[in-house]
Structure 1
Amino acid sequence: MRFFTLSYILLGVLLSISSLLPHTAKAQSERIKDFNQNGWYMYFGDHQFSDKWGVHTELQVRRYNYLKDPQQLLIRTGVNYNLTNNAMFTLGYGFIETYPYGEFPAADDFIEHRIYEQLQLKGNLARVGLTHRYRLEQRWVQSPVTSEYTYLNRARYMLRATLPLVGTTIEAKEPYLAAYDEIFVGFGNNIQRNIFDQNRAYLALGYKLSDAAAVEVGYLNHIVQKANGIVFEHNHTLQVGLTYNIDFRKQ
């Protein structure tokens, strides 16, 4: 259980940094809250080709006003390497296109190219399944005004928990509860006033369709600090996600 203790220490450090730095110590009167209603419709897949190697595939269609207007398109892939049965490293790439939305929209559509390195650790605490995800991102973000790219660094930490609603483990044809919290912290050159970048808190009802597939429907409380450090998005988000993992070793 040593990695659980280290995870909690890291989360505490990230929260402390984001709260103490003057970039985010804005008086409440200087902050502007932007409330939005979004819908994220997602597919995830980790496909195994051998005992050690696999590939990650992901598609997210994010909509503003739940379905009416575009918010963001995210396509992500990566190469997985299983360090142990409960530890996996991923090196990957993401393509993100963001559209103007909300009361403080971007001037135009803009694109982001992203490389990421990720370590995912799994374990259990009694009936609760726990996943710790550590991710570093190298981001090239296009300006919606000049179309030039700015290089940014970001660190992310997510703690996810699942609870079976039938029995002690989650089996095929059984429901479960899922929850996670993920914090994003920017660092390095070109970070402006949003060292605290965003936080995501999620609660969902899931159903394991088969050994390979599961679906979740849930609510995401998504807080984003804009680069100016003044506008804070409070996004009430419907999430619908399908996970489908193919094991090609069985083919």
Structure 2
Amino acid sequence: MSPIRHLLTLAAALALATPAAAQVDHDLSTWVNLTATGPIAGKLIYFAEVQPRVGRDAEDVEQLLLRPAIGVQATPNLQLYLGYAHVEEPAAGENEERLFQQATLFVRDLPGELQSRTRLEQRWRTDGRDMQWRLRQMLRYEYPVARKLAPMASVEAFVALNEPDWRPRSGFDQLRTFVGVELGLKGTSTIEAGYLNQIVDRAGPASRMNHVLSVSLFLRH
């Protein structure tokens, strides 16, 4: 079985493992991601992201996410980061602040490239007092088929590790599954575009499923 099929099989298994809901609310969204990344000095590295997310049938800005991080190139295939994220939610009138620690591992001795990203978040929201711990695990695989063209797929599971006052339960939080293509640009910069499916556990009887047109620009230097 190919690595992409492994990822999609894992996504299906995780989706079946999510809590059952009486109904699912569907929405159409557009997410745009601009990420700059590169070395600072020696083994010091950084990334900085700006992500507007338009939802409610692609009509309203639901989130604007700003996420910088600084890290070290621990080995040629392992990056360790410490970062901060500010999330504005104009439609809901709320904000969220996050600290996070991240380990990104690249496996390159394959046909294509496999990436594992593990992120631990500490989250505070303006509609509550408590801090939430959340674990995120992503697997991403790309397989070049031509110069500067690589089909790709990824799956990312989110798990709440405690029960803050603004989300009084732990366990499954959300699942994101992405299928698309990576296009090479000048130098090592790339653009990724495709379909992202997001399943979100919410309070009440209904979960939410977002059908997302996702476009990401990675500027590397």
- Quick check: TM above 0.5? yes
Residue 237 in 1 paired to residue 212 in 2? yes
Q: 1:200 & 1:185 partners in 2: Cα distance?
A: 12
Residue 60 in 1 paired to residue 36 in 2? no
Q: 1:207 & 1:85 partners in 2: Cα distance?
A: 23
Indicate the RMSD between aligned Cα atoms, in angstroms: 2.5
Deviation of residue 121 (structure 1)? 0.2
Instruction: Please name the residue that 1:203 is paired with.
Output: 179
Residue 34 in 1 paired to residue 10 in 2? no
Q: 1:233 & 1:134 partners in 2: Cα distance?
A: 24
Letter in 1 for 2:196: L
1:129 to 113, 126, 131: 113
Q: Deviations over 1:154-189 (max 9, x none)?
A: 0000000011011xxxx5xx2111210000000124
SS of 1:211's equivalent?
A: coil
Q: 1:25 to 1:208 in 2, by over 3 A?
A: closer
Q: 1:206 to 1:66 in 2, by over 3 A?
A: farther
Deviation of residue 205 (structure 1)? 1.5
1:180 to 133, 136, 154: 154
* Larger CA Rg, structure 1 vs 2: 1
8 A contact 2:31–2:52 mirrored in 1: yes
Deviation of residue 65 (structure 1)? 4.8
Instruction: Please name the residue that 1:77 is paired with.
Output: 68
Gaps of 5+ in 1: 1-7, 101-107, 247-251
Runs of 4+ in 1 over 4 A off after TM superposition: none
Q: 1:135 to 1:181 in 2, by over 3 A?
A: same
Q: What percent of counterpart residues are identical?
A: 29
Instruction: Please name the residue that 2:122 is paired with.
Output: 138
After the TM superposition, which of the residue ranges 90-99 and 228-237 deviates more from structure 2?
Answer: 228-237
Instruction: Please name the residue that 1:149 is paired with.
Output: 129
Q: 2:162 & 2:207 partners in 1: Cα distance?
A: 21
Instruction: Please name the residue that 1:218 is paired with.
Output: 194
Q: 1:37 & 1:189 partners in 2: Cα distance?
A: 29
Instruction: Please name the residue that 1:105 is paired with.
Output: none
Residue 90 in 1 paired to residue 73 in 2? no
Letter in 2 for 1:77: P
SS of 2:130's equivalent?
A: strand
Letter in 1 for 2:51: Q
